[in-house]
């Protein structure tokens, strides 16, 4: 597995992503500038956090039109693994690869803290090895997930909600929701399950010295090639709706 870490002007978690993948998971990973129009030779894509294009217009709006996003869209359609974290999640939503939008936090304050997550879907490639409760940091000002009622209902019905904000014992409550996300949603999956968008930062939770190693339970999914389609199988799924 060779992972492309996409860099946009304003990315600031790209080094965390590269370090986590390469040094903590042991995956060959390289930076790819957003102006590139090919991801040839790569098997997966990681869209890191930050403030792409200074968050002008809307968070991720300009980045979603970058040349490299055509390739990210192709990866998604082929069933290849794509992970968007924080700003990367915003970019995936703006690009229409994932549904919904990330709005300003309910209290209009930037939040930087460790939060508890409940793995709702533990059958997708991204989550099947995850513990039920994870502790992972967040750092965002526009992380409030929102979508129309029909979309939210569909996400739950199709088991595409990957993570919910919760308490340390997995309990639900507004007091555990750092941004006011609808129904406490912290991460969602595409229809095929190969694209994961999440606001918390698994790449910042890869060693005990960082306060948690729970992020490895997400990133390590990339190291298991058996979870993802071979190029032959990927070609056969090209064009499927995500």
Contact yes or no for 162/202 (Cβ under 8 A): no
H helices present in 142-194, as ranges = 149-157
What number is the average pLDDT over the span 146-153?
98
pLDDT score recorded for residue 238: 43
DSSP H or E segment with residue 205? none
- SS3 string, 83-110, reads EEECHHHHHHHHCCCCCCEEECCCCCCC
What number is the average pLDDT over the span 110-136?
94
Ramachandran area for residue 68 (φ above 0: left; ψ -120 to 50: alpha; else beta) = alpha
Q: Is 58 exposed, middle or buried (0-12, 13-18, 19+ CB in 10 A)?
A: middle
- Of 232 and 79, the structure prediction assigns the larger pLDDT to 79
Is residue 241 pLDDT above 60, yes or no? Answer: no
Question: The tokens of 42 are what?
Answer: 């790569």
What number is the average pLDDT over the span 144-166?
98
> Which residues are catalytically annotated?
86, 201, 203
What number is the average pLDDT over the span 140-158?
98
Distances (CA, A) of 82 to 2, 107, 168, 175, 228: 12, 30, 28, 31, 11
- CA dist 217 and 205 (Å) reads 10
- 2-228 is a CATH 3.40.50.880 domain: yes
- The share of the chain scoring above pLDDT 70, in percent, equals 95
Does the reported pTM lie above 0.85?
yes
What number is the average pLDDT over the span 47-61?
94
Contact yes or no for 168/115 (Cβ under 8 A): no
What number is the average pLDDT over the span 66-79?
96
Output DSSP code: residue 212.
Answer: B
Lowest mean pLDDT among 116-120, 121-125, 146-150: 121-125
Is residue 101 pLDDT above 80, yes or no? Answer: yes
Distances (CA, A) of 45 to 92, 123, 174, 212: 12, 21, 33, 24
Convert the pLDDT of each residue in 213-235 to its tens digit.
Answer: 999 999 999 998 788 874 433 44
pLDDT score recorded for residue 117: 98
Task: Centre a 10 Å sphere on the Cβ of residue 149 and count the other Cβ atoms it contains.
Answer: 8
What number is the average pLDDT over the span 193-203?
97
Q: Where are the domains of the chain?
A: 2-228
DSSP H or E segment with residue 69? helix 68-77
């Amino acid at each position: 597995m060779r992972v492309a870490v996409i860099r946009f002007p304003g990315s600031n978690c790209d080094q965390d992503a590269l370090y986590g993948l390469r040094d903590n998971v042991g995956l060959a990973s390289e930076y790819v500038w957003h102006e590139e129009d090919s991801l040839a030779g790569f098997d997966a894509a990681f869209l890191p956090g930050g403030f792409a294009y200074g968050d002008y217009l809307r968070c991720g709006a300009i980045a979603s039109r970058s040349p490299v996003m055509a390739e990210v869209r192709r990866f998604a359609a082929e069933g290849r693994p794509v992970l968007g974290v924080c700003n990367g999640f915003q970019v995936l939503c703006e690009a229409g690869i994932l549904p919904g939008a990330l709005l300003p936090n309910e209290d209009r304050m930037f939040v930087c803290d460790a939060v508890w997550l409940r793995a709702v879907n533990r059958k997708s490639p991204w989550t099947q090895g995850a513990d039920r409760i994870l502790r992972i940091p967040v750092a965002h000002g526009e992380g409030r997930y929102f979508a129309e009622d029909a979309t939210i209902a569909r996400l739950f019905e199709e088991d595409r909600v990957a993570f919910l904000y919760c308490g340390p014992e997995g309990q639900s409550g507004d007091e555990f929701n750092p941004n006011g996300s609808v129904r406490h949603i912290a991460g969602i999956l595409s229809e095929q399950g190969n694209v994961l968008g999440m606001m918390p930062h698994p790449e910042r939770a890869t060693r005990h010295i960082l306060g948690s190693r729970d992020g490895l339970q997400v990133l390590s999914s990339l190291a298991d090639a058996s979870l993802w389609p071979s190029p032959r199988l990927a070609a056969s799924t090209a064009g499927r709706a995500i």
